Structure 1
Amino acid sequence: MNVLVAMPNGALREDFFPPQTKSRLESIADVTWNESGEEWSQRELRDRIQGIDVCVTGWGCPQLTADVVDRADDLELLAHTGGSVATIASEAVYDAGIDVVSANDVMAEYVAEYVLGAILTHVRCLGELNAAMHRGRTDSDSYFIESLHDSTIGLVGLGTIGRFFLEHLRSFDVTVDVYDPYIDDDALGEFPFVTRTDLETALSSEIVSLHAARTPETIGMLDAEELAQIPDDALFVNTARAELVVEDALLDELRSGRFSAILDVFHEEPLPDDHELRDLENVFLTPHVGGSQIRPPLTESVIDDIERYRDGAPLEHGISRGAWELMTR
């Protein structure tokens, strides 16, 4: 089995392929690595893809376009160590019958964990209490400490992350409204505490969490009119993509202090040092780490599927054409 790892040599690839993970892959296949330290062009990938059974990609890899696929005479599996394969796979890949897998569902588990942890940190005032204790204060009466139990939560978009988040919410006595025009009416049958609803209802919740993919249809989906529907003193969470929300409209709301926000994604990343968001006390900021910093398990899940491919076993992390079409671009 011939495997081509298209990720360029460097610190990022070392994060995804620490020594033990690299050795594991090399123990099951003849591996060719991109040792250039630079992202290959599609032409460079095309020059190297012939005779390859499995192409492993990640951040910093070109798309497998029709021109690349035309040269990929033996390619049967595209294995992506990241989440979305929207800009890595192509119609040509699926037309050629090449299987596609990614670590999307594994990364989604970590993002859902982040969402739950961040929300609990907010409602229990853990950040403020920790800061106060370090300043020598021991009282808690000045903080409005709440509980996640009995809350109403609105999910805008569902997807894999949203489903894992719903699994976490089983432990809490919450009511959840989900807006997602792409799911079937029976898609939420396993969650008796969840109702499929319209966007306005989902936005009217005490906690609103955004989980839609970034596509041409969803960019700017939340503008001033939609954000105005979020209740006073609510919490808005965005771990999806910043472009789904009109930035000026969100800044207007956050400046007013009408509701709070947890933001892990931004229109410009890394967030500029002088960005206004850094000065707003009602915003909890993290640098796009919801799932992306936990990297070796992502690669391990992909290698698991490479082994299944080698053994002729069903793949567990497959991305269908339909799923690919709806992924973040």
Structure 2
Amino acid sequence: MSEQAPVIAVLLTEKTRRMMLDDAAVAQLNALGDVRWPAGATIDAGDVEHLLQGAVACLTGWGTPPFNDAARQRHPHLALVAHSAGSIRTLVPARLFDEGLRVSHAASKIAASVAEFVVAEAMLAMRGIHRLHHRLRKGGEWLDVRAAVPQRLLGARTVGIVGAGYVGRAVMRLLVPFGCRVLVVDPFLDDGDAAALGVFKAGLDDMLAQADVVSLHAPVLPETRHMIGARELALLRPGALFINTARAELVDEAALLAEIRSGRIEAALDVFDDEPLPFDSPFRDPALAHVTISPHAAGHTEEAHFSQGRAMVDEIGRLLRREPLHHEVTRAMLDRMA
């Protein structure tokens, strides 16, 4: 590369690089300018400072140390942070937006993976597949097992969605063709968008009281932290399925544990207050057979990861060609994003 080639800093750990960038994406990125790669498997704040010297764009992701408020002053040429993961809330301070730094993220590329995971959890619970499996494995009699596990049709259920962002809308698009009645809680969803999606707007309490399945997809904001507590959980119908693949902070975990221990509702949980989930966590209790737990895995598919990486390499190319960005996060969006 010539000395005039734009400098691009890759601020990814080796593990994240392998996860996000296939050979084609690496070749595409290298063709855009003078690409600086971390020397080691990990990356710390000192590595970030070194790699950003003279850079006009950087590629970030899971494991990238957060920027501080003075980053713009130290790296005045930096024009774009292309974040190959979803949330940028803890990565880029709001002040940097105000100082002109542009940010893109790949949250929309994760949505399909999370949506499939949510629908899989709903279908698993409605048909009791895991219960059928375990009862037969334990020697249960064929017809007795079938009679003991209720079978419900997902398409005949009412599903409540909290949050109509990228993931919430992806879940809606999968559920509506099943025939589900979908109730959505989101103050920013207007009537036109709801009609186009084939869903119905609802208040939180009304949705909780009507839904057979509830799935959370809201961002963590001061007004959404612990938005689901003991009072809200008590509104759920007996036998309802409560799914959280969003953020643990949306729910009062102690209240949720008490509710599921009562056996009144089922749950599918992918996020927890303490992650990794401690080995002695009560959520690991084998007695909670009506609860499925997973290790924050909903968004993690090979296809989604490579799509995230390619999307952000494409964004850097658009910046350098002075084309409109496709995945930009604006300052106005920041206050209501995850």
- Shared fold by TM > 0.5? yes
Matched, 1:69 2:72: yes
Conserved? CA contact 1:49–1:68, under 8 Å: no
**Separation of aligned partners in 2, 1:308 and 1:123:** 45
Alignment of 1:170-181 (within 5 A): 170-181=176-187
Deviation at 1:305, TM superposition (A): 1.8
SS in 2 for 1:34: coil
Counterpart of 1:284 (choices 265, 287, 292) is: 292
**Separation of aligned partners in 1, 2:51 and 2:69:** 15
SS in 1 for 2:161: strand
Counterpart of 1:96 (choices 94, 99, 111) is: 99
**Separation of aligned partners in 2, 1:47 and 1:78:** 16
**Separation of aligned partners in 1, 2:188 and 2:236:** 22
Letter in structure 1 aligned against 2:321: D
Residues 128-137 or 162-171, more deviating: 128-137
SS in 2 for 1:141: helix
Alignment of 1:116-131 (within 5 A): 116-131=119-134
Question: Is there any run of 5+ residues in structure 2 with no aligned partner, and where?
Answer: 1-5
**Separation of aligned partners in 2, 1:324 and 1:183:** 17
Counterpart of 2:85 (choices 82, 98, 122) is: 82
**Separation of aligned partners in 1, 2:333 and 2:137:** 47
SS in 2 for 1:28: coil
**Separation of aligned partners in 1, 2:332 and 2:132:** 46
Conserved? CA contact 1:111–1:291, under 8 Å: yes
Deviation at 1:220, TM superposition (A): 1.3
Counterpart of 1:251 (choices 227, 252, 257) is: 257
Conserved? CA contact 1:86–1:325, under 8 Å: no
Counterpart of 2:273 (choices 267, 270, 273) is: 267
Residues 106-115 or 29-38, more deviating: 29-38
* RMSD of aligned alpha carbons: 2.0
**Separation of aligned partners in 1, 2:73 and 2:147:** 67
Conserved? CA contact 2:217–2:246, under 8 Å: yes
Residues 121-130 or 156-165, more deviating: 121-130
Conserved? CA contact 2:38–2:47, under 8 Å: no
How many residues in Structure 1 have an aligned counterpart in Structure 2? 325
**Separation of aligned partners in 2, 1:300 and 1:12:** 13
Letter in structure 1 aligned against 2:53: Q
Deviation at 1:253, TM superposition (A): 0.6
Alignment of 1:1-329 (within 5 A): 1-8=6-13, 10-41=14-45, 45-135=48-138, 138-139=142-143, 140-192=146-198, 194-204=199-209, 205-279=211-285, 280-294=288-302, 295-328=305-338
Percentage of pairs with the same residue: 34
Question: Is there any run of 5+ residues in structure 1 with no aligned partner, and where?
Answer: none
**Separation of aligned partners in 1, 2:212 and 2:176:** 17
What TM-score does the superposition give when structure 1 sets the normalisation length?
0.91
What TM-score does the superposition give when structure 2 sets the normalisation length?
0.89
